[in-house]
Amino acid sequence: MDALVRRTVLDTLVLAAATATSVAHAQATPPSPPTVIIVKAAHLIDGRGGAPLSPGMVRVEGERIVAVAASLPVPAGAKVIDLGDATLLPGLIDLHTHLTGARNVHWEDALTRTTPGHDALWGARNALVTLRAGFTTVCDMGPTWPFVDVDLRDAINAGAVLGPRMMVAGNYVSATGGAGDARQFSIYVDVPLVKNLADGPEEITKAVRTNFKNGADFIKILSTGAVLSKGIPPGAQQYSEAEIQAAVTEAGRWGRQVASHAHGAGGIIASIKAGVRTVDHGSYLNDEAIELLKASNRRTFYVPTLYTAVAVEQEGAANGIPAAERERNRQIKDAEYGGFKRALAAGIPIGFATDAVVIEHGENAKECAVRGQLGEAPMACIVAATSLDAEIMGWSDRVGSVEAGKYADLIAVPGDPLRDITQLQKVGFVMKGGAVVREELARR
């Protein structure tokens, strides 16, 4: 891994040097047309749920896809990337990550034991690991040190750091004593620059405005307690419908969306009624909630994070998760898995997310394996992690499928993920915006 990270960083420096040279060159001569790259593989799944193309070819010019077919002409001078027996897919999307989080410190200890630099450095590392695992787009649900995710997004967009395209929450909005209250210390201790607690519609409205002013793309609110928290238990509702509504209304004025962390049924139902975009985790999803989701007509989506239950069970103790929080995890797991099966049976769309940091960064595709064990078809999980997630983000115009006009965000896995969904964990080719990030699967 270390060698691969070094190689990728080196590639970036070489790329930066090459870009600088071509900029200097461009001043003397007219701009040359973008490089044409032809990517081909035995199979191509485009992310929209239809039958795969076998074989599949994609023509990339600059940062965009310009053509997709079973066979395409190869123009003179084009670079050809031949992925042999592999399956090409769109870059994957994760709707719930915490890229700035590391497992060496529990988030409730972060304010007393770390600085924002910790989140920034681990964020850069985790962004690269996530991208190399095939996740070319994420919604980041925020750091403990507010707005470091804004800086990470901007550094990625500026080309200073390699990572996925990001939409960021900036600073999650929590009730006092609740799921996002990291102040698990004496009332005589304060961290004056970190303000993420808001109670009542007026404070929530102000928190939403403050977040957008400081660079957030969307709002994350914590409507119920959490599993990995000393605060109110996960089943308990923490924000009233009126408080959630205040967040949705103010975000709507900015043309933006709200993600609602909600485990208990009360918080799930209040969130759907208030019109949030996503109900994240959604552990105690019941029939009433499913009916409301259906009636919302693709306004609100259920976005579970199921592999977390396994990760906390198997790796939690080693990662310093307290026994009381592991017990919360044990109690909620059956409800969580039952809710997913109910949603599957009801045929509602199910977004794809992982809560990475609770799971190891880069292991995001394991979520599809759990969903498969609970009865979901491989193609349904692939659609969830590509075109459906893009729809939920409002980014269907740029990512989520292998189609002309979209960003050239492509990945490849060995063999056939429709037969064995765990192949998604073996990504061996990643391209983001036409730039190759890794290509072990390419034939030389």
Q: What Å distances lie between residue 422 and 280, 367, 371, CA to CA?
A: 24, 10, 11
Neighbouring CB atoms inside 10 A of 415's CB total 15
Separate counts of helices (H) and strands (E) for the chain: 13, 16
Both structure tokens of 39: 């990517």
Phi, psi of 128 (to 5 degrees): -65, -45
The nearest distance, CB 139 to Zn ion, in angstroms, is 10
The nearest distance, CB 359 to Zn ion, in angstroms, is 11
Strands 435-438, 87-90: pairing is: unpaired
Q: Which is nearer to Zn ion, 44 or 141 (CB)?
A: 141
Q: Which is nearer to Zn ion, 119 or 355 (CB)?
A: 355
Q: Which of 199, 256, 251, 252 is nearest to 222 (CA)?
A: 199
Q: Which helix (H) or strand (E) holds 189?
A: none
Side by side, the strands of the sheet bearing 258-262 are 219-222, 258-262, 278-281, 301-303
User: Which listed range, 133-141, 202-210, 416-424, 431-439, lies at the site for Zn ion (CB under 5 A)?
Assistant: 133-141
Q: Which x/- pattern, by CB under 5 A, does the window 263-292 give for Zn ion?
A: ------------------------------
Q: Mapping DSSP to helix (H, G, I), strand (E, B) and coil, where does residue 393 land?
A: helix
Q: Which is nearer to Zn ion, 236 or 379 (CB)?
A: 236
322-361 positions binding Zn ion, by CB under 5 A: 355
CA distance 330 to 314: 11
Q: Which is nearer to Zn ion, 355 or 416 (CB)?
A: 355
Q: Which x/- pattern, by CB under 5 A, does the window 82-121 give for Zn ion?
A: ----------------------------------------
Q: Mapping DSSP to helix (H, G, I), strand (E, B) and coil, where does residue 123 land?
A: helix
Q: Which is nearer to Zn ion, 326 or 398 (CB)?
A: 326
134-153 positions binding Zn ion, by CB under 5 A: 141
Q: Which helix (H) or strand (E) holds 78?
A: none
The nearest distance, CB 21 to Zn ion, in angstroms, is 42
The nearest distance, CB 425 to Zn ion, in angstroms, is 21
The nearest distance, CB 141 to Zn ion, in angstroms, is 5
The nearest distance, CB 259 to Zn ion, in angstroms, is 9
Q: Which is nearer to Zn ion, 278 or 386 (CB)?
A: 278
Contact residues toward Zn ion (CB under 5 A) are: 141, 355
